[in-house]
Structure 1
Amino acid sequence: MNLKEHYIQLYKDAIRKISSDHYEIDELIDSKLDQRFGVTLLFRPSNEVKGKIQKFLSELKQVEPNQYYYPNSDIHITVMSIISCYEGFDSKKIELSKYVELIKKCLPKKSDIKIQFKGVTASNSCIILQGFMNNNIINDIRNSLRKEFKNSKLEQSLDKRYSIQTAHSTIVRFKEEFKQKEKFLNIIDKYVDFDFGTFEVEKMELVYNDWYQRKEFVKELHIFKI
């Protein structure tokens, strides 16, 4: 996969849909009845990078204050959705030690993982940071997880929604109709190649989470040092 071309095509398709009002609104973000939970292996960007992200988000908030913007605590990059969120899932139902043991087998003893967030892309329901990996280690980990979980009897739903291959991060979700859509899209376009910075991945987190990875719902299950 040519990652840059992939992000560009996503962006073109999304902007066309948003411009023609064919965007999707997430009506569950503010719902008190949303009981979708799951388990995710993820990592988070550095504070320096998150500071640059928030400056970008503050510009968007000025023209569309009522969309859903991720706070620093919730910004993440998914390595793998181990158990995709579904209604009624409870982390107490799984044997955590077996998941930790399996994941450890899939992690390299030594690694040099750096992620550069450069530019933004989008879908018809959200705004996404373009993440670029300095090597193939994360995808190697993903492939090992796929193999090990396939050969286990542990509950999992790897690649159920889509086969993840990138290091992107969702930072805005649409939760109501746009009031100043053109101004919003102009700001997005201004940041389409902006360099938000590079950070080194030093740990990965296994978490119990809601659909949006909100801090108040996330429960840390295990930390893996990289």
Structure 2
Amino acid sequence: MINIEYYNKLYHDSVAKIQSDNYELDKLIDSNDDRRFGISLILRPDESIKERIQNFLSKLKSVEPNQYYYPNSDIHVTVMSIISCYDGFHLDQISIDDYIEAVMKSLNSSESFDISFKGITASPSCVLVQGFMENNNLNLIRNRLRNVFKSTQLEQSMDVRYALRTAHSTVVRLKENLEQKQKFLDVLKDFRDFNFGTMKVDTLELVYNDWYQRVDKVKTLYEFPLV
């Protein structure tokens, strides 16, 4: 499957970069001047999966406590970044009802689907939990979203950064130089194939969000039940 190949390449390429100190630090996480906001359609892993993720994160925290670790409230999978976060975007610039209507049209008769969270991968700046779709429903939803929004005059920036094809969840962001790099990589290796659990996705959320989906910055605009 494309997801496995993608995740494997990402992992090996990123570990090599981390080992050679070519990783990237996020300098905006602690900034009070970060005003990047956007609109996303997301799903949230269930509590049992999030608890297993926190167990994994606790192992990483024990060797690298100064990185940014996602709390349960912020862990999510992006179904589609409808308006990618940018500096200065505010809700009063758009008609929320028009966006809700467009998403509702995209999700018409969309069925619930299963996602299995198994193993971790990495990027040069993040650690991600791998998500695998049990069927093609999520991709169908994404394609409908693309088609519906392209037929409107609504502001959107889907696929501008990259076309979403996976169901991963970012759970760690590097913000400080790694002090125990090898131990950090050893923990990643230990959880490379760890089974975090499988869940049925029966609700999607349209949210106004900052770059990190922090609970104190996120505003839920609408929840969409799936059939």
Q: Same fold (TM over 0.5)?
A: yes
What is the CA–CA distance in structure 1 between the aligned matches of 2:193 and 2:15, rounded to whole Å?
Answer: 15
Please show how residues 86-165 of structure 1 align to structure 2 within 5 Å. 86-165=86-165
Are positions 1:171 and 2:171 aligned together? yes
Describe the shift of the 1:110–1:144 C-alpha distance in structure 2 as closer, same or farther (beyond 3 A): closer
Q: Is residue 110–residue 137 contact of structure 2 (8 Å, CA) maintained in 1?
A: no
What is the CA–CA distance in structure 2 between the aligned matches of 1:26 and 1:121, rounded to whole Å?
Answer: 18
Runs of 4+ that moved beyond 2 A = none
- Which residue of structure 2 aligns with residue 26 of structure 1? 26
Q: Give the SS at the match of 2:55.
A: helix
Please show how residues 166-205 of structure 1 align to structure 2 within 5 Å. 166-205=166-205
Q: Could you state the TM-score of these two structures normalised by the residue count of structure 1?
A: 0.98
Q: Could you state the TM-score of these two structures normalised by the residue count of structure 2?
A: 0.98
In the TM superposition, what is the alpha-carbon distance from 1:110 to its structure 2 partner?
5.0
Q: Give the SS at the match of 1:224.
A: strand
In the TM superposition, what is the alpha-carbon distance from 1:105 to its structure 2 partner?
1.2
Are positions 1:73 and 2:86 aligned together? no
What is the CA–CA distance in structure 1 between the aligned matches of 2:220 and 2:36, rounded to whole Å?
Answer: 17
What is the CA–CA distance in structure 2 between the aligned matches of 1:215 and 1:112, rounded to whole Å?
Answer: 25
The answer for unaligned runs of 5 or more in structure 1 is none
Q: Give the SS at the match of 2:15.
A: helix
Task: Render the CA deviation track for 1:184-211: whole Å, top value 9, x for unaligned.
Answer: 1000000000000001112100000000
The answer for unaligned runs of 5 or more in structure 2 is none
In the TM superposition, what is the alpha-carbon distance from 1:151 to its structure 2 partner?
1.1
In the TM superposition, what is the alpha-carbon distance from 1:106 to its structure 2 partner?
1.1
In the TM superposition, what is the alpha-carbon distance from 1:108 to its structure 2 partner?
4.3
Task: Render the CA deviation track for 1:115-167: whole Å, top value 9, x for unaligned.
Answer: 10000000000000110001111111111111111110001001010000100
- Which residue of structure 1 aligns with residue 8 of structure 2? 8
What is the CA–CA distance in structure 1 between the aligned matches of 2:121 and 2:148, rounded to whole Å?
Answer: 32
1:71 partner letter: P
In the TM superposition, what is the alpha-carbon distance from 1:91 to its structure 2 partner?
1.1
- Which residue of structure 1 aligns with residue 220 of structure 2? 220
In the TM superposition, what is the alpha-carbon distance from 1:96 to its structure 2 partner?
0.9
Q: Is residue 38–residue 208 contact of structure 2 (8 Å, CA) maintained in 1?
A: yes
Figure out how many residues of one structure are paired with residues of the other and give that number. Answer: 226
Q: Give the SS at the match of 2:131.
A: strand
- Which residue of structure 1 aligns with residue 42 of structure 2? 42
2:155 partner letter: E
What is the CA–CA distance in structure 2 between the aligned matches of 1:190 and 1:83, rounded to whole Å?
Answer: 36
CA RMSD of aligned residues (A): 0.8
